[in-house]
Structure 1
Amino acid sequence: MVLAGPKILSEADGDCVGIERVRGQSPVLLICEHASNALPAYFGDFGLPGEALASHIAWDPGALAVARGISEGLDATLVHQRFSRLIYDCNRPPSSPGAMPETSEIYAIPGNKDLTAEERLARTDALYVPFHDAIRGLIRDRRARAQDSIIVTIHSFTPVYHGRERAVELGMLHDEDSRFADLMLKAAAEAPLYRTERNEPYGPEDGVTHTLILHGLSNGLRNVMIEVRNDLIADDAGQGVMADYLKGLLQQSLDA
């Protein structure tokens, strides 16, 4: 079956892009590509059990709450995707198999099996294009009013992946431009609340820096991708502590 764009997101589903503090005064521009595990009504349960839809394969648990805490603390604009990464992973280009993966860790994803070119294009047009167009528009508007932009993406990762435990608690990721990541790592070393490492548990070789390249490197803007181990932000208390800690690191890096 060929999907048409309007079928993917109905009027009841609403916009795929959430923008908060659109006129935030901080130079930090927060982006959360994997903020939600919600599925557009058209897709039903995507052929997956509830435990899979609640797990890290469908979203980055806790990431949006942490991003919102930072946004409030810094008065920073926040852009987030309102639908699950299972439909389209907005941190992957349309050409990447990871944009609409057929498997994720231990799960097969029936809703992504044997997609046609037309189906892939419809999802790209419905979710990826408007999401990144919204970010481009914000950067353009900020430039017009002489406001700097530092791209900061917020993610979370599972503490056990393919049966292997991950010791790292906080990752500062970057691609070719490490300017802001270097400052964040220096700030974290001076206040070592969490085990923090560079380009862990993922790095550029894993294809995770797409948003940084698209909006940071291509515009000459400083940027960093922050990865938080999701067991540390599984409840309100943990999310609050992490948001305050990251807000402090960001402010120190801005001051530097």
Structure 2
Amino acid sequence: MSVQEPGPNPYQAVEVTNPEGRGGFVFVCEHASRLIPEEYQDLGLDADQVKSHIAWDPGALAVARKLSEAFDSPLVAGCLSRLLYDCNRPPHAHDAIPMVSEIHTIPGNQNLSFEAKKQRIDGIYIPFQETLEAVVKKATASDRLPLMVTVHSFVPVYKGQKRAVEVGFLHDDDSRFVDAILSVDDGAKFVVERNAPYGPEDGVTHTLRFHALPHQIPNVMIEIRNDLIVTDQQVADMADYLRDVITKAVSYADFRAATPSTGASQ
């Protein structure tokens, strides 16, 4: 399929909510939107595909917004579908501009020229990363390191396989935040796991590696099964749960002062 690629930055690629927040966190939602500008002709997908999880993380932005408000901290969110460019992937990643997502071929991403790929990198990835970098820089200017939390959602059934995990707490080389969370979560409310349903080996921790690890910022990537955040009440309940477990984890130990370490699987 041939589509006309727009110029380098004709659309807003990133939005910052509560930029002056002083709560000590930086929240991130890379896959917040399923918007595909009309020039891309929905990348050749049908309406149901564009609304589905392959285009975004349903419910993730709603939860992230509630956490940003609860902790009075900035939230950096993507404004365009991850099918155009996945801002949680570096430009060299094979799935940064996915040709296939789950079992779905993306016609508008086939056989892209170097120039077409560069336009998406320049117009989506770079503005997102520069904005997040500026927010992190501002947050690290204080006497105390901020905490980074990225919010995602995942499908209950993936390639025909049901997933038992309900909330995943992911980390890369720095496991401090996740260690603290799993120490205070008793598993009574949700089925939780470390580095599930994905882990760093799946290439999903780019934001943590690029923005948190270099500054030794304690970090966690939260994956929520999206059938648990469909309604407004479910979103509110999930946000309340995450607020509670994060607050307890922060109170549990001053892990910001600890040396980053890799945690064992759980």
TM-score using structure 1 length: 0.94
Q: Do 2:212 and 2:218's aligned partners in 1 also have CA atoms closer than 8 Å?
A: yes
Contact persistence 2:24–2:139 (CA under 8 A): no
* 2:26/2:139 contact within 8 Å kept: no
Match of 2:126 in 1: 129
User: 1:147, CA displacement in angstroms?
Assistant: 5.1
* Residue of structure 2 in register with 1:203 after alignment: 199
Gaps of 5+ in 1: none
**Given the alignment, which residue of 242, 245, 249 partners 1:246?**
242
1:7 Cα shift?
A: 2.2
Partner of 2:262: none
- Identity of matched residues, %: 46
Q: Is the 8 A contact 1:39 1:87 kept in 2?
A: yes
How far the C-alpha of 1:108 sits from its partner, in A, is: 0.6
3-state SS of the aligned residue for 1:123? Answer: helix
Match of 1:7 in 2: 7
Does the aligned pair in 1 maintain the 2:3–2:41 contact within 8 Å?
A: no
Match of 1:230?
226
The Cα of 1:74 is off from its aligned counterpart by 1.2
Q: Report if the CA contact (8 A) 1:8-1:42 is conserved.
A: no
Instruction: Figure out how many residues of one structure are paired with residues of the other and give that number.
Output: 251
Partner of residue 63, structure 1: 60
1:157 corresponds to 2:154? yes
Cross-structure match for 2:136: 139
Give the distance between the partners of 2:55 and 2:215, measured in 1 at CA. Answer: 30
Deviation at 1:123, TM superposition (A): 0.4
What SS does the corresponding residue of 1:30 show, helix, strand or coil? Answer: strand
Q: Deviations over 1:155-197 (max 9, x none)?
A: 00000000000000000000110000111112222x6210000
4+ residue runs over 3 A deviation: 1-4
1:170-189 to structure 2, matched below 5 A, reads 170-189=167-186
Distance 2:27 2:59 in 1: 15
2:25 to 9, 28, 35: 28
Q: Distance in 2 between matches of 1:97 and 1:115?
A: 13
Deviation sequence 1:192-220 (CA, Å, 0-9, x none):
21000000000011000110100111111
Q: Which amino acid aligns with 1:101?
A: P
In structure 1, give the amino acid aligned to 2:58.
P
Equivalent pair of 2:14/2:77 in contact (CA under 8 Å): yes
SS of 1:255's equivalent?
helix
Partner of 2:45: 48
Offset at residue 143 of structure 1 (A): 2.7
Q: Retained in 2: the 8 A contact 1:3–1:122?
A: no
Instruction: Determine whether 1:93 maps to 2:93.
Output: no
Unaligned ranges ≥5, structure 2: 253-266
Shift of 1:254: 1.8
Equivalent residue number for residue 210 of structure 2? 214
C-alpha distance in 1, partners of 2:4/2:206?
Answer: 26
For residues 129-173 of structure 1, the C-alpha deviation after alignment (integer angstroms, 9 at most, x for no partner) is 110111111121223343532111000000000000000000000
Paired AA for residue 7 in structure 1: G
| Counterpart secondary structure, 2:27 | strand
Work out the CA distance in 2 between the residues paired with 1:51 and 1:140.
39
TM-score (norm 2): 0.90
SS at match of 1:177: coil
Partner of 1:109: 106
Do the aligned partners of residues 133 and 147 (structure 1) sit closer, same or farther apart at CA in structure 2, a change above 3 Å counting?
farther
Secondary structure of 1:38 counterpart: coil
How much has 1:250 moved relative to structure 2? 1.2
